[in-house]
Amino acid sequence: DAEVSTRKKTFAEVQTERLDQAERTVLIKCPSKLNEKKLLQYLSSHGNVRSHFFFENRGISALIEFSEKSSIASLQDAVGIPSASEYHVVPFKSRLFTFTLKKPVSQYVEETPLHLSPQCHIPVKDLIEKLCLADSVSSQMYILLNEYQLTEENIKLRFLACSLVQDFARAYFPDSTVKPFGSSVNTFGKLGSDVDMFLDFRDTGKHATKLKKGPFEMEYQMKRLPSERLATQRILSVIGDCLDNFGPGCVNVQKILNARCPLVKFSHQPTGFQCDLSVSNSIAIRSSELLYIYGCLDSRVRALVFTIRCWARVHGLTNSAPGTWITNFSLTMMVMFFLQQRSPPIIPTLDQLKELADEKDKHIIGGYDCSFVSDLRKIKPTKNTETLDVLLGEFFEYFGNFDFRKNSINLRK
């Protein structure tokens, strides 16, 4: 089962694999009438195409993953600079291309229409029709999950958006990486949600083998600033300007540098995502991994979370605009806590995951121990067999009687 084989990988393995995939990927804007075979034939002259799909986003686009990174360099060498009579182009050679047909269309067009991968969930009306055909509440909850969760194609697009931003960051910081965090990677992402990404310099230090032996040592001369916050603001300010001035399809760039967590917001038109870029956020990545583990342990976990979040949205309890409402993250935490309280528990507590951790799982962040096991095979499956419909009812019962004035929820114990 392909689903299980991807599920059993550790969070770090999945991230590494996807980041690598994204670096071998290009995005091509295509004409509305296109011969798929001819396009792939042309691209194959630059190297083996490992996978591809088409999607609709202000016209038709194709995401093309090559087997080798060198194929992209070969393609870039063969591609022309746009001739612009009324505009002047910024000569930044990215991995975004436009494919056009020179000859009259008729001989290129094939009979078979392109298969387009949907990048947003189905309209509510269609969803309700599907739900009405289900034979149980549990089945309905799984249908909701299947319709709203991120698809394989959408995840590839999210990692590509990060990889394209990384190309700019690497012009200044060659060892840096740009990685997604939060709902794009924690298995709880919904189609249409924003992409949270962060600029990571942690790999920069990994290559350093400081000369310890011998009578001398060498280190880089680097700009020194009074605080990490100021360094973060300066870096984001420059990357934000780059995206704004040179990034094809990067629009509405806003630098929000005085926020508690400084960030750059922008719309990435080629992939269709709203993006938030911040700098190294260790805690956010750890919580993404923790949710990834919980999401992989039992299929009921994600189905229950998606249902509760959908219920909250329909009743106006959550809102995409910032304000005093409860967030999806808080609702997700409530579901996790509830599942830990079942008898027998459906998911383990954080302390139990910490007990299973070994040396490589050690993470101390800001003086806090954030260690927990990363290998899913070490976690025993639950013996709890409650059905989803029962769990849904029990969730409302549990929190309906929960005294929030006296008690709080804590996933640790």
d(CA 174, CA 167): 9
Q: Do β-strands 96-98 and 25-30 pair in parallel, antiparallel, or remain unpaired?
A: parallel
**Is residue 209 predicted with pLDDT exceeding 80?**
no
Residues of the chain with CATH 1.10.1410.10: 289-400
Looking at per-residue pLDDT, the higher value among 161 and 206 belongs to 161
Domain 289-400 CATH assignment equals 1.10.1410.10: yes
d(CA 30, CA 226): 49
Closest CA to 219 of 232, 228, 209: 209
Contact in structure between 371 and 359 (CB atoms under 8 Å)? no
* Per-residue confidence (pLDDT) for residue 1, from 0 to 100: 47
Mean pLDDT of 175-179: 96
d(CA 43, CA 239): 31
* Per-residue confidence (pLDDT) for residue 2, from 0 to 100: 52
d(CA 91, CA 128): 49
Contact in structure between 165 and 277 (CB atoms under 8 Å)? yes
Contact in structure between 153 and 119 (CB atoms under 8 Å)? yes
* Per-residue confidence (pLDDT) for residue 111, from 0 to 100: 55
Tell me: the pLDDT tens digits for 321-333?
888 899 999 999 9
Closest CA to 201 of 161, 239, 223, 173: 173
Three-state DSSP string of the chain: CHHHHHHCCCHHHHHHHHHHHHHCEEEEEECCCCCHHHHHHHHHCCCCEEEEEEEECCCEEEEEEECCCHHHHHHHHHCCCCCCCCCCCCCCCCCEEECCCCCCHHHCCCCCCCCECCCCCCCHHHHHHHHHCCCCHHHHHHHHHHHHECCHHHHHHHHHHHHHHHHHHHHHCCCCEEEEEHHHCCCCCECCCCEEEEEECHHHHHCCCCCCCCCCCCCCCCCCCCCHHHHHHHHHHHHHHHHHHHCCCEEEEEEECCCCCCEEEEEECCCCEEEEEEECCHHHHHHHHHHHHHHHHCHHHHHHHHHHHHHHHHCCCCCCCCCCCCCHHHHHHHHHHHHHHCCCCCCCCHHHHHHCCCHHHCCEECCEECCCCCCHHHCCCCCCCCCHHHHHHHHHHHHHCCCCCCCCCCCCC
CA 413 to chain centre: 29
Model pTM score: 0.94
Mean pLDDT of 186-198: 97
Scanning the structure block, which residue is given the tokens 């910032």? Answer: 322
**Is residue 30 predicted with pLDDT exceeding 70?**
yes
d(CA 269, CA 253): 12
Under the banding of pLDDT at 50, 70 and 90, the label for residue 20 is very high
Looking at per-residue pLDDT, the higher value among 146 and 104 belongs to 146
**Is residue 122 predicted with pLDDT exceeding 50?**
yes
Contact in structure between 318 and 239 (CB atoms under 8 Å)? no
d(CA 322, CA 320): 6
Cis peptide before 344 (omega within 30 of 0): yes
* Per-residue confidence (pLDDT) for residue 179, from 0 to 100: 97
d(CA 350, CA 178): 28
Domain 2-107 CATH assignment equals 1.20.120.80: no
Tell me: the pLDDT tens digits for 301-326?
999 999 999 999 999 999 988 888 99
Under the banding of pLDDT at 50, 70 and 90, the label for residue 15 is very high
**Is residue 357 predicted with pLDDT exceeding 90?**
yes
Contact in structure between 156 and 65 (CB atoms under 8 Å)? yes
Contact in structure between 61 and 28 (CB atoms under 8 Å)? yes
**Is residue 261 predicted with pLDDT exceeding 80?**
yes
Under the banding of pLDDT at 50, 70 and 90, the label for residue 106 is low
Residues of the chain with CATH 3.30.70.330: 2-107
* Per-residue confidence (pLDDT) for residue 203, from 0 to 100: 67
Instruction: Specify the range with the lowest mean pLDDT, choosing from 59-73, 103-117, 140-154, 369-383.
Output: 103-117
* Per-residue confidence (pLDDT) for residue 32, from 0 to 100: 86
